[in-house]
Structure 1
Amino acid sequence: MGESMLPLIGAVAAVPLVRRALATRRRKRERDRREAAVIDLCGAVAGDLRAGRQPGEALVGLVVDLGAAWSAVPAAARFGGDVPEALRKAARQPGAEGLNGVAACWQVSVDGGAGLAAGLERVAAALSAERDQREDLHAQLAGTRSTGVMLAVLPVLALLMGSALGAAPLRVLLHTSAGLGCLTLGGVLECAGLVWTARIVRAAGGADGGGR
């Protein structure tokens, strides 16, 4: 491998792909964290309301992990601002969309006197049910993902077996015309198989590719 430039070229080409995969995984973790924070927020505010606290007081004393956009919400509650609008702005973050339901409940409770605690509990229940459904679907698709990974690893195992038998497959693949042709064709088919499997998983799990 050290006598060929192909492994180096392949490693350089893989850098943006790996960075993209890591960024996608990081965004998914942040989305899941915000979603859990919204569910906890609904439960905490509903509990405070049932304990006799005022809605504004419940928001002011609440500490949640919803980023910098959340700071405008307790400020609006403290100084008599537009709390529903602040909630809708915070809901623009990926994973915090459930705050739109909180804003709607807040608006109804202010305008019509409806029970805010009951509305927040229903929002939390709906968000929890949606999350559980998505996690169940993710678990069901785990087998498909594992199969795709296993098929992708099989060529590497074949190379290791060939090396163990003394066939020198890497020298053939990297230093002969026939080997380079086989390597190119195999790489194209490998990438096509991975893309196809990923599309199947996305189609079953959601259009955004994040399982949502």
Structure 2
Amino acid sequence: MTALLVTLLCLAAIVVLGCGKRRLAPISAGLLRLPQPRRRPGKRGRDSADELPMFVRQVASLLRSGRTPAQMWADILRVYGPEEFAPEASRNPPEAEQADRPGEGLPALLLPGMRSAGQAAELGLSVGFALRQANVPGVGTRSPAAVMARRMWQDMAACWDAAEQTGAPLAVLLENYAGHLQHTLDGAAARRTALAGPRATTTLLTWLPIFGLGLGIAMGADPLGILLGTPAGWAILAVGLGLLAAGRLWSQRLVSRAADG
């Protein structure tokens, strides 16, 4: 009986892990480095959001080197913009460089804002206003990277306005903001890691009643006959399902509130 119980518990664990949304990496992933597929330029996700501080630091570095805002936006467009903005020698980089090039999903998020700010700088208009009005693709779909990019443009516009009104060095403001943005992203990643355990526990507790029914049947009892064949069983089943649904909703709400920070 003990061996049967251990076997059923192992099968239950395998089912839970198989039903999860995450796929476990193969054990040999650390021993054999497989080539990663190239991401499409339009792909957006958390990896794109993690590269936003690097973009802000690049903008600050270009300004610190003595470039005017119009020159800076033109240079940054050559880095993140489409091929017509890139130099002839870098339009078709080798395959190895393409695989290692960071930010494949970043240009699709930043290109409209960079173009608006560049045009405003060339015409002598307010760059801060252009950044606030910048269109970020994917904001309507609540993409995490798009929402973070939209917030970044708003914060960069505030830095730009503060530099124009107070005379503070814009490069220093942007570098400080890049550090703040990096801390924000690191905190979000830490929350996701900390909440992985509660999410897995919620999933396990949801499946436990079903495993209990299977275990009862395997031990020779008739839990389904008691639950479905008697009035008391129907009452117990209804109360159990209600408590199960309430517990899952409550757990999901707590996890969501913790994830939102």
| Partner Cα separation in structure 2 for residue 175 and residue 73 of structure 1 | 71
2:73 to 49, 52, 59: 59
Structure 2 length normalisation: TM-score?
0.56
Q: Which residue of 2 aligns with 1:77?
A: 121
Instruction: Give the counterpart of 2:181 among 127, 133, 153.
Output: 127
SS of match in other structure, 1:98: helix
Do the aligned partners of residues 175 and 75 (structure 1) sit closer, same or farther apart at CA in structure 2, a change above 3 Å counting? farther
Residues 179 and 49 of structure 1, relative CA distance in 2, 3 Å threshold:
same
1:44-85 CA-to-partner distances (Å, cap 9, x unmatched) read: 211222333222222233333426752533332344333201
Counterparts of 2:163 and 2:67, CA distance in 1: 15
Pairing 1:67-146 to 2, within 5 Å after superposition: 70=113, 71-90=115-134, 93=139, 94-95=147-148, 96-146=150-200
Shift of 1:185: 1.8
Gaps of 5+ in 1: 1-28
Look up the equivalent residue of 1:90 and give its one-letter code.
A
Structure 2: how far apart are the matches of 1:65 and 1:121?
Answer: 23
Give 1:173 deviation, angstroms. Answer: 4.7
Do the aligned partners of residues 121 and 91 (structure 1) sit closer, same or farther apart at CA in structure 2, a change above 3 Å counting? farther
Evaluate the alpha carbon distance shift between residue 68 and residue 43 of structure 1 in structure 2; reply closer, same or farther with a 3 A threshold: closer
SS in 1 for 2:66: coil
CA displacement 1:168-193 (0-9 Å, x = unmatched): 64566567655443332222101111
1:36 aligned to 2:50?
yes
Distance in 2 (alpha carbons) for counterparts of 1:136 and 1:169: 43
Rounded to whole Å, the distance in 2 between the matches of 1:133 and 1:91 is 26
Given residue 62 of structure 2, which amino acid in structure 1 is its aligned partner?
A: D
- 2-side partners of 1:54 and 1:68: how far apart? 19
The aligned counterpart of 1:182 is 236
In the other structure, the counterpart of 1:151 is: 205
1:21 equivalent in structure 2: none
Task: Evaluate the alpha carbon distance shift between residue 190 and residue 68 of structure 1 in structure 2; reply closer, same or farther with a 3 A threshold.
Answer: farther
Contact 1:148 1:194 in 2 (8 A): yes
Q: If each structure's helix is expressed as a fraction of its own residues, which one has the higher value?
A: 1
Q: Percent identity?
A: 32
Q: How far does the alpha carbon of each residue in 1:13-69 deviate from its partner, in whole angstroms, 9 at most, with x for none?
A: xxxxxxxxxxxxxxxx96846643542321121122233322222223333342675
> What is the rounded CA distance, in whole Å, between the counterparts of 1:31 and 1:160 in structure 2?
40
Query: 1:3: which partner in 2?
Result: none
Q: CA separation in 2, counterparts of 1:156 and 1:77?
A: 63
User: C-alpha displacement at 1:150, in angstroms?
Assistant: 1.9
Query: How many residues are aligned here?
Result: 179
TM-score of the pair, normalised by structure 1: 0.67
- Structure with bigger RCO (C-alpha 8 Å, 6+ apart): 2
> Residues 91 and 97 of structure 1 are in contact (CA less than 8 Å); yes or no, is this contact kept in structure 2?
no
Assess, with a 3 A threshold, how the Cα gap between structure 1 residues 69 and 165 changes in structure 2: closer, same or farther. Answer: farther
Cα RMSD (Å) = 3.2
Q: How far, CA to CA, are the matches of 2:111 and 2:131 in structure 1?
A: 12
What is the DSSP-based 3-state SS (H/G/I as helix, E as strand, rest coil) of the residue aligned with 1:56? helix
| Inter-partner Cα distance in structure 1 for 2:154 and 2:57 | 15
